[in-house]
Amino acid sequence: MRDTESFYHRAVRIIKSIPKGKVATYGLIAHLAGSPRAARQVAYILSSSWKKHSLPWHRVVNSRGCISLKPGRGYEEQRELLEKEGVLFRDDGSLDLTDYQWKPEKDLADMEDF
DNA sequence: AACCTGACTTCGG
DNA sequence: TCCGAAGCCAGGT
């Protein structure tokens, strides 16, 4: 059996476990789910079925700590949701990953170089 | 089966 | 530091 299904479910599970007030990058989620390079797939999962799994989609940002969504296509909504959880944005629209990025406990991860 | 597409990431100029 | 190109993964057509 291919691993794609597992990846999907693992990714969903990981996204669900992102605590309020924290964020995770696409790459980190992909990494934890077992495919370090599948960041795009994580994005796909969010856009296609965040509703289906009640995922906290707004807690996922790109590697620079910015919202990947374009203005008018969810950007403002995501930013608002995050601000409601206490996340502060800089003038350029980015947030401080060193403060907000979720660091999962060793349960889920078999991260090699952490 | 082949090609296109995307809420990404990384590297080189 | 900023911009463009290439690499990657999986779903949709």
Cα-Cα-Cα-Cα torsion A21, A104, A34, A37, nearest 10 degrees, comes to: 50
Calculate the angstrom distance between C1' of B3 and CA of A67.
Answer: 29
Report helix, strand or coil for A25. strand
Q: A55 beta carbon < 7 A from strand B?
A: no
Query: Which residue from A99, A105, A12 is spatially nearest to A50, judged by alpha carbons?
Result: A12
Segment A97-112, tens digit of pLDDT: 999 999 886 544 444 4
Q: In this structure, is the CB of residue A35 within 7 Å of any atom belonging to strand B?
A: no
CA distance A37 to A94: 23
For the segment A57-75, the average pLDDT, to the nearest whole number, is 94
First to last CA, chain A: 30
**Mean pLDDT of chain A, nearest integer:** 89
